[in-house]
Amino acid sequence: MEAVLPSDVILRWCDEIGVIERERKLDICQLIRCMIIAASSPSGATQADVLRAYLESDAENVSPPAFYQWFTPRFELLMERLAERALAYSRAQVVDLPAVMQMASDWIIVDASTCRLPDAFWNVYPGAGPYAAVKVHKHLSIGTGCAVHYHFSPAVDHDSPHLTIDASWAGKGLLCDLAYASIARLRDCFTHGVHFVIRLKENWKPRVLEIRGQDLSAELLQGADFDALIERGVLPLKGETVDAVVAVGSGKNPLKLRLVGVDTYKGYCFFLTNLSDTVTAMEVSEIYRTRWEVETSFKLDKAEQGLDQAASPTSMNPHALRALMHASLISSTMTTLLVHKHNSKVKKTAAGVRTEAPLHPRRLAMQLVVSASSIITAMELTGKDADKAWARSAKVLTVSGTDPNWKRRPSVLDRLRGWPAPTPASPRLSLS
């Protein structure tokens, strides 16, 4: 926490940006810490919540109108810088990937989530319908469970233009839903050495070049339409996995990709990937299923960190809106950083199997707001007093943030890591 929100950096940036234009009763460091803490408060992350947290922190009294005037464009820029500092800290963490995903330096999930706003924001953030809404575009690291990038846009915007595959992606893996599916983007992945797994889009017509594990004549397969092979019964779907080489895209230079199909309770799911044959079809499917981690991340943002409540109907200042949304997302990032740094140090066997319960982000977030006052106090202390205060907080957070279902309901990502096999349910006693 001290690494993400250091007082000296906050004060230096305040001077550079000109946040405090004249002498006034404003403890800027305390204000920012209260914004981060208020983001997790049960009532939400509105300006009124921040004011209450600020006054409860022994700061000098300030009237609500004067307090709201602090939320200026310059203050928004300060929060944007602090958010980028938190994201840079996330990007610097050592990743922890399952063995099957270690062909990439890290896997990044790209997705977006929409937050409804009061109608007064419609001119700034028009929604997809007759309402105002802002969209949060997020890049989430599988290796750390933390956000490594995010930005805002009007909710009416389509997701796809907000993702660019360039040289910064080299060596990484990409997981995204069909909103980002395009032949041009897959070409960019090949150009920059990016691994990917993506669902097969319905209107794409892959032409089959080879079906692995089936003895079919080359004349039958040469450029045959994948859907046509299924309809004619040449490729029967009988519960077995499908692993084929296909060509996707029109023109003289179509993309040569691997297509895998896995039977699920919803029927067959088909994926396109450039992963090698050393990764089985079932493992490709499991890698894609880790995309669910971004859904739990957005749930943390909204349910525990107040992202949905950042826009208060009493204040229609877009600079205040974005500053409060930055505070919520910084709070979420710090929570997942704590989880990652703790979980990477828990005891494991020689085979790498976890033997201690990990922390759960949402449970930890709930305890963070309960421990808010002691955490703010610890950040003001130095020396041995600070060490003791942090140790007390760490003990409480560890006990309260522990995941009680880590053995009974492991995530797809934990199963890929081998942590652990599900524990059989205890037999119920009969009362007869």
pLDDT digits (tens, 9 = 90+) for 18-68: 887 554 567 888 888 888 876 666 555 678 778 887 887 777 888 888 888
| pLDDT of amino acid 427 | 47
Contact 113, 384 (CB under 8 A): no
Is residue 196 exposed (0-12), middle (13-18) or buried (19+ Cβ within 10 Å)? buried
Both structure tokens of 155: 């909710």
Cα separation, 214 vs 245, whole angstroms: 12
Contact 152, 325 (CB under 8 A): yes
Q: How many CA atoms lie within 13 A of 138 on its CB side?
A: 30
Cα separation, 307 vs 319, whole angstroms: 15
Q: Is 224 helix (H, G, I), strand (E, B) or coil?
A: strand
Q: Which residues of 371-404 are buried (b: 16+ CB within 10 A; e: fewer)?
A: bbeebbebbeeeeeeeeebbeebeeebeebbbbe
Q: Which residues share a beta bridge with 243?
A: 260
The predicted-structure confidence for 157-188, as pLDDT tens digits, reads as follows 999 999 999 999 999 999 999 999 999 999 99
Domain ranges of the chain: 197-290
- Cβ-Cβ contacts under 8 Å for 130 (sequence gap 6 or more): none
Count of CB atoms situated within 10 Å of the CB of 66? 12
Share of the chain above pLDDT 70, in %: 88
Of the ranges 140-154, 230-244, 367-381, which is most confident?
140-154
